[in-house]
Amino acid sequence: MSPVVVADDVTKRYGDTVALDGVDLAIDDGEVFALIGPNGAGKTTLTRCLTGTRTPDEGAVELFGAPPGEVQADRLGLLPQDFNPPDRLTPRELVDYYAGLYDDPRDVDGLLETVGVNPEVETWYGDLSGGEQRRTCVAAALANDPSLLFVDEPTTGIDPAGRRALWRVFEDLAAAGTTVFLTTHYMAEAQRLADRVGLLADGRIVASGTPDELVAAYGGDPALDVDTDATPDDLADAGYTVEATDDGLRVQNIAPEDIGGVVDAFESRDIAFDSLSWSEPDLEDVYLALTDDPDVVDADSEEVAA
Ligand SMILES: Nc1ncnc2c1ncn2[C@@H]1O[C@H](COP(=O)(O)OP(=O)(O)OP(=O)(O)O)[C@@H](O)[C@H]1O
């Protein structure tokens, strides 16, 4: 099976800034690929090069085996990060406008309902909340029922319930065979939706694989966090790898069945603690290990205005 999306040694510069530095990528038919990476890593630039809205300085891009400009428009869906439709249209008018550009569009009201926007609403796009605007834009990007969809930060600014609703939309698209390329700052989004994840840093793909492969390779070990005033020295003779954290101690490489032994080690040394919290590594740990970026967004705890 030949890949649907190919980037071959793609380099893009803006003046002295090297936004992409030799990116290789191949995405198979029906795959959901999530591109993650810090601000300025080059995600939007790569999305633009792949969709033909930017031309690489070096290297080549192919969609369905052809340059992006030669691909039939109704096969592609694109939701750019900075998509800015006319303000004075209702959601139905707006999606209807995009649907009208294609021969065989999806049903507009059904699309709006799918993304959680009431098709009857008479509010102009410009007066919708940020989350409602983004959901309307997702509906517009799906108007032609694309077989390849590019979405650049599709759920930024959407509240947690709305984000999960959109995840279900993307999961349904993937189940129906749509190839999806998405960029996101939400590690939970990449972990849940993506068959494969690529981590872009300074214009280079520094790691790629399934979420499980990346976690196994870079995520570290499961750990037990202990809320305590103790220091690592207090447990120096206990045989554990222990490091200090903001709230106390982290005991590394602890399986669930080892937790009792750690508690015994604390109690036998008369070390007081308030609480224990065990966690397995996830994609966020991978991201932090490979980028050292403190601004990674936790999709479950982030506060957003709907
Ligand atoms: N039109 C432009 N002119 C000059 N520099 C640009 C232009 N577009 C992007 N850049 C620079 O290229 C680099 C990559 O930007 P890009 O927007 O692709 O990153 P990103 O990973 O999408 O970032 P974010 O997560 O903040 O959206 C950045 O240093 C950016 O400042």
| pTM higher than the cut 0.90 | no
Do residues 237 and 74 make contact, with C-beta atoms less than 8 angstroms apart? Answer: no
Residue 43: CB within 6 Å of ligand 1? yes
How far, in Å, are 8, 22, 60, 213, 290 from residue 198 at the CA level?
15, 14, 18, 11, 12
Tell how far the Cα of 46 is from the centroid of ligand 1, in angstroms. Answer: 10
Tell how far the Cα of 135 is from the centroid of ligand 1, in angstroms. Answer: 24
**Nearby residues of 251 by Cβ (< 8 Å), 6 or more positions away:** 223, 224, 225, 226, 235, 240, 241, 242, 262
Tell how far the Cα of 40 is from the centroid of ligand 1, in angstroms. Answer: 5
pLDDT at 187: 96
AA identity, residue 36: I
Beta strands in 157-304 (DSSP E): 179-183, 196-201, 204-209, 223-227, 242-245, 248-252, 275-279
Residue 114: CB within 6 Å of ligand 1? no
CA-nearest residue for atom 17, ligand 1, is 44
The preferred substitution site among 14, 23, 206 for testing ligand 1, maximizing ligand atoms within 8 Å of CB, is 14
Do residues 22 and 9 make contact, with C-beta atoms less than 8 angstroms apart? Answer: yes
- pLDDT tens per residue, range 248-286: 999 999 999 999 999 999 999 999 999 999 999 999 999
pLDDT at 303: 39
pLDDT at 133: 92
DSSP codes of every residue in 129-145: -HHHHHHHHHHHHTTT-
pLDDT at 301: 46
Residue 185 CA, closest ligand 1 atom number: 25
- pLDDT tens per residue, range 173-188: 999 999 999 999 999 9
Identify the structural domains of the chain with CATH numbers, from first to last: 5-217 (3.40.50.300), 221-280 (3.30.70)
pLDDT at 286: 95
Residues of the chain where predicted confidence (pLDDT) is lower than 50: 299-306
pLDDT at 44: 96
Predicted complex ipTM: 0.98
